[in-house]
Amino acid sequence: MEDAGDPRPQPRVRPPAKRGMYLLPSLITVGNLFCGYACVMYAMRGDVVTAAPFIGVAVVLDMLDGRIARMTGTTSAFGVEFDSLADVISFGLAPAVLAYAWGLSELGRWGWAAGFLYVTAAAMRLARFNIQTGLQTDKRFFVGMPSPAAAGVPAATIFFYPFPLVGKVQALAAIAVVVIPAILMVSSLRFRSFKTMNFGWDRSYIKIFAFAALIVFIATEPRVALVIIAYTYLASGLIGPVITRLRGRRQGLPPEA
């Protein structure tokens, strides 16, 4: 008979129901990966109208898998690596192929070279994010433009104007759509992270109303709304340092390095 006073610690038994939860974040990551693959397939067929929204769905799924993993306590090293590999496809390769089908192909070698530059920048951004996780002190900001937001720039642009670019002059717009986000991804500019934003639960419900208005705007005018959101976030990383320097001068503080 087991001694009731046995001081040895008993092994902690994990509830069986929780074991199945480990699959849920990875399944969402698979959905993210599928969206990137589908975007590539439709873009290769020239159907950019169908291809572009897949990147938007991938962004939503990428936001969900990490949050669900943290909420359920099912984070793992495998999940982190799997998520990064899926992001290279959905937010690196897929936007580059999409932009190539939209207009980069008009520039020949320069076109696919610009696409490869974007893929490289996205892979570098994801690698830098992985090694900086846990080392970055200010969780309110990302260093460099996040790859999902960067992918949203060509996706929203092409979704807004899905007509093929003809001629080298028009194709220069496709160069800008991929090169500018690529540079911002590997830059040291800070972009706001919405993970730590406190939207507040005060008595003023203006924030909830504003969020509802945003949903209505996206639902009624998705092409206009998504392109405004994408470029507003892109511009925030460029305008933010200017505002910080102006505030520092007014307060007599030295500018940040």
Per-residue pLDDT in tens (0 to 9) along the chain, 257 residues:
444 444 555 545 445 445 656 688 889 999 999 999 999 999 999 999 999 999 999 999 998 888 888 887 778 888 888 999 999 999 999 999 999 999 999 999 999 999 999 999 999 999 988 887 666 556 778 888 999 999 999 999 999 999 999 888 999 999 999 999 999 999 989 898 876 555 555 566 787 788 889 899 989 999 999 999 999 999 988 887 777 666 666 665 555 54
What does the pLDDT read at residue 14? 46
What does the pLDDT read at residue 1? 42
CATH of the domain spanning 20-197: 1.20.120.1760
Calculate ∠ Cα 163-167-169, nearest 5°.
100
Q: What is the CB neighbour count within 10 angstroms for residue 109?
A: 7
What does the pLDDT read at residue 24? 85
pTM, two decimals, is 0.82
Return d(Cα 130, Cα 120) in angstroms, integer. Answer: 16
How is the chain split into domains, by residue range?
Answer: 20-197
